[in-house]
Structure formats: C-alpha cells, structure tokens
C-alpha cells in the first residue's frame, strides 16, 4: 500500500511539473493563439472529487489524452473545463480517461478498482452532486435527463 502511495506521489509530482511547463508554453506562443483557438474544441462537464489531490489526478488523466491542450477541474463546482483538438480526440475519450483514473463523470462511472486505490481523502461520495453551476453554453443539450 505504501508503495502504491509513493508511486502515486512521484507521478503526481511529475504531472505537476509538466502541467506548469505546458502552461508556460501556451503563454509564450500568444501570436499563434488565434489560429490555435479555431482548432480547439471546448468541453465542460461534471466530475466528482474531493480535494486538490483529486484535481491533480483528474487533470493528469485528462492531460494524458492525446490532443488535450488544457484541463481545469473546479473543486467547488465539481466540474471540468477542457480544451482539446477535436481532430485528435473527442469528449467521450476524455470522459473515459477520467473514469479510468477512478472518478465519476456525468457520462461514465469511475473505474472501481482505480477508485479503491485512491488515497482515503479522495474517496469521494458517489452520490455527490456534479456540475453544480450549469455552464452557459452547453454542447449537449440533449442529455439533460439521467
Ligand atoms: Cu482528493
């Protein structure tokens, strides 16, 4: 168990570093931002989680999907904003990546064995309300009913 936690901590540390580097890269390429923007699709949807460690795990899972440019999970709203290249990936791939890391999304239930390996503080309540403030522009108006 200790081994697992240690390796998670290492991966998290690496993840954090690479996230920061990516953020810097996008800042320095401001001139091409307008061009990039056109190719980028946006998605925002509910994801359950408790704390900053959940945020790291969720965002690392999303950033691991090829084509994802940016991911930001809001701990208060239980909601993630993702921008991605829709020629390389799609919203369902992002849902699946989050679910594989153990977290529930609006569309896909989190993998239970991954959930079991989450640190105690991250074992979120499966009945938790997600997406606590609805986004103004929702792409999926057809999935209001669950
Ligand atoms: Cu957590």
Ligand 1 centroid to residue 74 C-alpha, Å = 12
Ligand 1 centroid to residue 31 C-alpha, Å = 36
Nearest of 106, 29, 39 to residue 68 by alpha carbon: 39
> What are the boundaries of each domain within the chain?
2-135
Give the position of tokens 């609805």: 134
d(CA 110, CA 34): 35
d(CA 54, CA 103): 9
Contact (CB, 8 A) for 84 and 40: yes
pLDDT of residue 141: 46
Which segment of 6-15, 32-41, 111-120 scores lowest on mean pLDDT? 6-15
Ligand 1 centroid to residue 136 C-alpha, Å = 27
Ligand 1 centroid to residue 8 C-alpha, Å = 12
- Span 51-90, pLDDT tens digits: 999 999 999 999 999 999 999 999 999 999 999 999 999 9
Tally: H helices and E strands in the chain:
5, 3
Ligand 1 centroid to residue 122 C-alpha, Å = 3
Ligand 1 centroid to residue 119 C-alpha, Å = 7
pLDDT of residue 29: 53
Ion ligand 1: residue ranges with CB closer than 5 A:
50-51, 53-54, 122
**Span 34-63, average pLDDT:** 89
- Span 91-143, pLDDT tens digits: 999 999 999 999 999 999 999 999 999 999 999 999 999 987 654 454 444 44
Q: List strands edge to edge, sheet with 68-74.
A: 40-46, 79-85, 68-74
The CATH number of domain 2-135, selected from 3.40.50.970, 3.30.70.100, 3.40.1190.20, 3.40.50.300: 3.30.70.100
Ligand 1 centroid to residue 140 C-alpha, Å = 27
Ligand 1 centroid to residue 134 C-alpha, Å = 22
Give the position of tokens 């849902």: 95
pLDDT of residue 11: 59
Ligand 1 centroid to residue 67 C-alpha, Å = 25
């Amino acid at each position: 168990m200790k081994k697992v936690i240690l390796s998670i901590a290492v991966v998290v540390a690496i993840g954090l570093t690479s996230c920061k580097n990516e953020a810097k890269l996008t800042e320095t390429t401001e001139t091409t931002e307008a061009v990039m923007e056109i190719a980028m699709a946006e998605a925002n949807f509910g994801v359950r989680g408790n704390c900053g460690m959940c945020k790291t795990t969720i965002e690392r899972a999303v950033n691991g999907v090829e084509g994802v440019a940016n991911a930001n999970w809001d701990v208060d709203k239980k909601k993630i904003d993702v921008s991605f290249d829709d020629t390389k990936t799609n919203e369902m791939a992002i849902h699946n990546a989050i679910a594989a890391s153990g977290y529930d999304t609006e569309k896909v239930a989190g993998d239970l064995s991954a959930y079991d390996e989450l640190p105690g503080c991250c074992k979120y309540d499966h009945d938790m309300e997600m997406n606590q403030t609805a986004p103004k522009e929702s792409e999926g108006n057809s999935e209001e009913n669950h």
